[in-house]
Amino acid sequence: MQELKNDLLLRALKGEELQRPPVWMMRQAGRYLPEFIALRDQYDFFTRCQTPELATEITVQPIRRFPLDAAILFSDILVVPQAMGMNFEMKHGIGPWLENPIRTVEQVQNVIVPDVEETLGYVFEAIKLTKKELDNKIPLIGFAGSPWTILCYCIEGRGSKSFDIAKGFCFQHPEAAHELLQKITDTTIAYLLKKAEMGCNVIQIFDSWGGMLSPKDYDEFSWKYIEQIVNAVSEVRPVTVFAKGCWFALEKMSQSKASALGVDWTVTPEVARQLTNNSITLQGNFDPSRLLSKPEKIQEMVKEMIDGFGTTRYIANLGHGILPNVPVENAQAFIQAVVNYRKD
């Protein structure tokens, strides 16, 4: 891979000593930007994901506006189950929607592990176009959902506050649940290795619904599958794992081959450092709703956050995706506060 003009993110992942942390925002390629809204009004969600030129354009929109240290490819975690034969749609006012969710053992047995080059070629094409557009200025992050998070949508059939149907299926049919989780894991490994081959510099795994599980169930139904992915992909690229609501697992996760762990806003920098024995790069943990504060307040809180984590082994980010109603100037204030950060 060619050398990057700005490799701050890669250096943070290696644990190098830095004057300021790198900064990017989860869901930075998206719904708070007027230029994104213009495209959203023209094309439906999965058309944007599946059209390489549109995915590339959306990926680079925030890079044109802000001094970010990384781009994250515009896509969705549900492209993986789509490739496995589940016809997810994005319904207005509802979000992810699967007409025939998985509710039986037989359905699990019928789920395929696809050839990712055939089924997800549009993602790889988008990476190629995006790399050309970025011109080695900054790293490109590729991502996937954790097998547990994907399973939640496949069984529930839509978003949920508690994913009781998905959890119930796992507890009633653990063998089938593990079969499905393994199929998702195998597909995801092939998908992420191809993303790395096509030029993604860093890989992130999103375990959005890990916090729905007890620590014991998390080990059984989520972490052991994430760890398979980390073990395979970390051979070729640094991997960040973001498990929302899972601070209880930070210690165990810090002992894996992951290069960084994302943390949400429910844990302090001090506790996160303590749980991980200061042995791994941490990423986060600004509450996305806090971007609705006044810009001066945002800048003050960002400084406080970096003071708490330190500038080494740290990536400044939000504790989850940016909200659609965040004013552009507030996102700018967040990013600028990191870029201008100086230790007292």
The annotated binding site for substrate is made up of 27-31, 46, 76, 153, 208, 320
The yes-or-no answer on residue 27 being catalytic is yes
Structure tokens belonging to residue 244: 């929302």
Candidates 129, 136, 123, 176; CA nearest to 154 is 176
The yes-or-no answer on residue 153 being catalytic is yes
Residue numbers in the known binding site are 27-31, 46, 76, 153, 208, 320
How many C-beta atoms surround the C-beta of residue 292 within 10 A?
Answer: 14
Torsion of CA 116, 119, 120, 122, to 10 degrees: 140
Q: How far is CA 132 from CA 47, 129, 156, 196, in A?
A: 21, 5, 38, 15
The yes-or-no answer on residue 40 being catalytic is yes
Candidates 229, 217, 135; CA nearest to 188 is 229
The yes-or-no answer on residue 218 being catalytic is no
Instruction: Please state the φ and ψ torsions of residue 230, each to the nearest 5 degrees.
Output: -60, -45
Q: Are 211 and 245 in contact (CB under 8 A)?
A: yes
Q: Which of 32, 153, 191, 225 is catalytic?
A: 153
Residues 6+ apart with CB under 8 A from 96: 78, 88, 89, 90, 153, 158, 159
Q: Which of 27, 65, 103, 158 is catalytic?
A: 27
Q: Which of 76, 186, 207, 264 is catalytic?
A: 76
The yes-or-no answer on residue 64 being catalytic is no
Candidates 33, 22, 23; CA nearest to 61 is 33
Q: Which of 31, 65, 103, 158 is catalytic?
A: 31
The catalytic site residues sit at 27, 31, 40, 76, 153
